[in-house]
């Protein structure tokens, strides 16, 4: 964007919503020009300290939510993970109630300057083909598996093709949930079979909440191993 003979450039995730980015950029440029108009219209910009505007940039970034998609078959723990993150005082549900189509929640924690918009995608087969209506502009995908071979096969056969079509550039990891159940595959084995790094979790335990929030934060800041959806082999 050009204004007052000054060019403003903003970089974004390739999955980001263009309308949201344009809205944020117009807001940022307006505030910046208002604060430094006289400097920009003269040679004073060469000696002007623009650093006081740094919090303004961060506030703009915080208005573009990081869209996180929890994808997986029904009953793997997606809704439990969503409620574990957003409703810690009530505790995660102990009974399985299917999510119809999808659910959404805003998540604010130690993610400064980001705010996460978390989407729990209905995992019943009849809903998977409708995921595209929900997950557009998603930046991060968390595959939720119940750590069984059958579920992994379903994920690769049913979920992966939709994700690759809709979110080819999104970062992706897996949660190897239900690690407390007999016969559960290890996170390493779940990751090997899914083709993405997998991290162990027990979503029905409140003491796993910090681990879950840290996983989301580390994925957003790219401080853990992850994959890109379009790079997963075999899909």
Where is pLDDT greater, at 39 or 190?
190
pLDDT for 102 equals 53
At 65, phi and psi to the nearest 5? Answer: -60, 140
The position carrying tokens 């060469």 is 46
pLDDT for 177 equals 97
The position carrying tokens 């050009």 is 2
DSSP helix, strand, coil percent of the chain (3-state; round to 5): 45, 15, 40
Highest mean pLDDT among 30-39, 47-56, 68-77: 68-77
pLDDT for 13 equals 67
pLDDT for 213 equals 93
- The SS3 assignment for 123 reads coil
Q: What angle do CA 76, 182, 213 make, to 5 degrees?
A: 45
Q: Would residue 72 be called left, alpha or beta, if left means φ above 0 and alpha means ψ between -120 and 50 degrees?
A: left
pLDDT for 95 equals 44
d(CA 221, CA 127): 30
CA distances from residue 10 to 13, 23, 61 in whole angstroms, order as listed: 10, 12, 10
d(CA 100, CA 103): 8
d(CA 97, CA 110): 29
Where is pLDDT greater, at 101 or 199?
199
Where is pLDDT greater, at 55 or 201?
201
Banded pLDDT at 188 (limits 50, 70, 90):
very high
Contact assessment for residue 109 and residue 213, using Cβ atoms and an 8 Å cutoff: yes
Longest pairwise C-alpha distance within the chain: 71
The two tokens of residue 234 are 């075999």
d(CA 208, CA 204): 8
The CATH class of the 66-231 domain is alpha beta
pTM of this structure: 0.77
d(CA 52, CA 60): 14
67: number of Cβ within 10 Å = 25
**pLDDT above 60 for 84:** yes
Q: By percentage, how much of the chain surpasses pLDDT 90?
A: 44
Sign of CA dihedral 18, 19, 21, 22: positive
Where is pLDDT greater, at 171 or 113?
171
Domain residue spans of the chain: 2-61, 66-231
Closest CA to 36 of 44, 55, 25: 44
Banded pLDDT at 151 (limits 50, 70, 90):
very high
Mean pLDDT of 15-27: 78
Can you give the C-alpha Rg of the chain in angstroms?
21
């Amino acid at each position: 964007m050009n204004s007052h003979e000054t060019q403003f450039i903003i970089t974004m995730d390739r999955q980001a919503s263009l309308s949201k980015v344009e809205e944020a950029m117009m807001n940022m440029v307006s505030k910046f020009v208002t604060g430094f108009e006289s400097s920009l219209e003269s040679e004073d910009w060469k000696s002007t300290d623009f650093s006081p505007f740094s919090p303004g940039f961060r506030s703009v970034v915080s208005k573009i939510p990081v869209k996180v998609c929890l994808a997986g078959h029904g009953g793997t723990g997606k809704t439990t993970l969503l409620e574990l993150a957003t409703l810690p005082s009530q505790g995660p549900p102990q009974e399985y109630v299917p999510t119809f189509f999808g659910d959404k929640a805003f998540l604010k924690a130690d993610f400064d300057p980001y705010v996460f918009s978390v989407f729990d995608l209905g995992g019943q087969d009849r809903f998977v083909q409708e995921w595209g209506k929900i997950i557009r502009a998603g930046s991060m995908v968390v595959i939720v598996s119940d750590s069984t071979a059958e579920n992994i096969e379903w994920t690769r056969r049913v979920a992966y093709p939709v994700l690759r079509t809709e979110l080819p550039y999104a970062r992706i990891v897996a949660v190897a949930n239900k690690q407390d159940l007999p016969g559960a595959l290890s996170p390493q084995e779940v990751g090997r079979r899914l083709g993405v790094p997998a991290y162990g979790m027990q979503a029905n335990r409140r003491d796993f909440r910090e681990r879950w929030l840290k996983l989301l934060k580390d994925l957003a800041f790219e401080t853990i191993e992850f994959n890109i959806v379009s790079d997963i082999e075999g899909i």
